Amino acid sequence: MSFATAMARLGGQSISVDSVEASSIVKGETLADTIRVVSGYADAIVLRHPKEGAARLASEFATVPVINAGDGAGQHPSQTLLDLYTIRQSMPVDGIDVGLLGDLRYGRTAHSLALALSLYGVTLHTIAPVGLEMPANIALELRERGMEVVEHPNVEEAIRELDVLYVTRIQRERFPDSASYYNVASSYRITTDLLDGVKERLMILHPLPRAGEIDPAVDRTPYARYFEQARNGVPIRMALLHEVMK
């Protein structure tokens, strides 16, 4: 919806394929062929796909710009642009302390944001349930870039050091059964009590949707910035679409 809204506000139109069942993919058409065909219909392609690397593959066959709107457990670069923009509205990005909380293994928003923050001398604090830690290859790349990465066993230990707390949901689809999911999903929750003694400028971000990891009471605190963050997706994606099609 944010990309469609962005395109409409730019004065353009969008063609949407909301499900595989609504396209020739259900008939066995490959991604490469789909991209070749759609390139003839549009001036840019915004692709969200369940498989990591799909957008990069699509770019090899497209004759128009391809924007990665999320590829499985890989990356989510346009989300990172709006995340950085939201932070920059309140404080300089350089040298701040940012905490990533939640599913850091499969969470593509966390992967993209961590890599982007490594360009700003940020200290990264990671807090994840056992088994959902940041992938080793990404953690290694961050450290090779000179980023300080501090691992914490729980959010209580880190939250008073942070300028930004970036919360992500546990992805239910990654678990074999409901019991396994709820055991992990209930391992952290941001409440108003947890915010006692935090920095005055702390901002809590979340790529949304949330699934219980932030108490709705937090919405009424000055730290909650996730709905503003979501709104920022429109101007950022307007700028991105304008840039690739000008």
pLDDT band, residue 78 (cuts 50/70/90): very high
Cβ-proximal residues to 60 (8 Å cutoff; 6+ apart), any chain: 32
76: left (phi over 0), alpha (psi -120 to 50) or beta: beta
Query: Class of the 2-72 domain?
Result: alpha beta
pLDDT band, residue 25 (cuts 50/70/90): low
Return the domain boundaries, the chain.
Answer: 2-72, 77-231
Nearest to 161 by CA among 114, 205, 214, 198: 198
pLDDT band, residue 26 (cuts 50/70/90): low
Amino acid code (one letter) for 124: L
Q: In which element (H, E) is residue 87 found?
A: helix 77-90
Would you say 129 and 156 are in contact if contact means Cβ atoms under 8 Å apart? no
Can you read off the two tokens belonging to residue 233?
């997706």
pLDDT tens for each residue of 106-141: 888 999 999 999 999 999 999 999 889 999 999 999
HSE of 156 in the Cβ direction (CA atoms, 13 Å)? 6
Can you read off the two tokens belonging to residue 200?
């005055």
pLDDT band, residue 24 (cuts 50/70/90): low
pLDDT tens for each residue of 30-64: 889 999 999 999 999 999 988 888 899 999 999 99
Query: Which residue reads 């490959």 in tokens?
Result: 30
Q: What proportions of the chain, in percent to the nearest 5, are helix, strand and coil?
A: 45, 15, 40
Query: Which residue reads 């001398």 in tokens?
Result: 121
Query: Which residue reads 């396994």 in tokens?
Result: 180
pLDDT greater than 90 at residue 183 = no
Same fold for the pair 2-72 and 77-231: yes
Share of the chain above pLDDT 70, in %: 93
Q: Can you tell me the mean pLDDT for 61-89?
A: 91
pLDDT at 234: 97
What value does the mean pLDDT of the chain take? Answer: 91
Q: What is the CATH number of domain 77-231?
A: 3.40.50.1370
pLDDT band, residue 178 (cuts 50/70/90): confident
pTM for this structure? 0.88
Residue scoring higher pLDDT (47 or 178): 47
Please calculate the CA angle 65-70-71 and round it to the nearest 5 degrees: 95
Asked which of 35-39, 80-84, 184-188, 190-194 is least confident by mean pLDDT, the reply is: 184-188
What letter would DSSP give residue 214?
Answer: B
Start-to-end C-alpha separation, the chain: 22
Q: Is the dihedral of CA 245, 5, 69, 218 positive or negative?
A: positive
pLDDT greater than 90 at residue 19 = no
Q: Can you tell me the mean pLDDT for 189-215?
A: 96
Query: Which residue reads 């692709």 in tokens?
Result: 47
